Amino acid sequence: MPRKKRVWYPGAAYHIYCRGNRKSLLFRNTNDYNYYLFLLKQAKLQYFHELFAYCLMSNHIHLQIRTKEVEIWKIMRWINLTYAKYFNNKYNLVGHLFQGRYGSNLIKDDAHNVSTSRYIHLNPVEAKIVDDPVEYKWSSFDVYMGERESELVDEYFILSYYQETGPAGYQKYVQAGL
Q: Are 126 and 116 in contact (CB under 8 A)?
A: no
Q: How many other C-beta atoms lie within 10 A of the C-beta of residue 84?
A: 17
Q: Is residue 3 part of a domain?
A: no
Q: Is residue 6 part of a domain?
A: no
What is the sign of the dihedral through the CA atoms of 126, 131, 136 and 140? positive
Q: Is residue 7 part of a domain?
A: no
Q: Is residue 145 part of a domain?
A: yes
Q: What residues make up the domain containing 29?
A: 13-175
Predicted model pTM? 0.95
pLDDT tens-place string over residues 118-161: 999 999 999 999 999 999 999 999 999 999 999 999 999 999 99
Q: Is residue 4 part of a domain?
A: no
Q: What is the CATH number of the domain that holds 104?
A: 3.30.70.1290
Q: Is residue 113 part of a domain?
A: yes
Say how many domains are in the chain: 1
* Per-residue pLDDT at 89 exceeds 90: yes
Q: Is residue 101 part of a domain?
A: yes
Q: Is residue 70 part of a domain?
A: yes
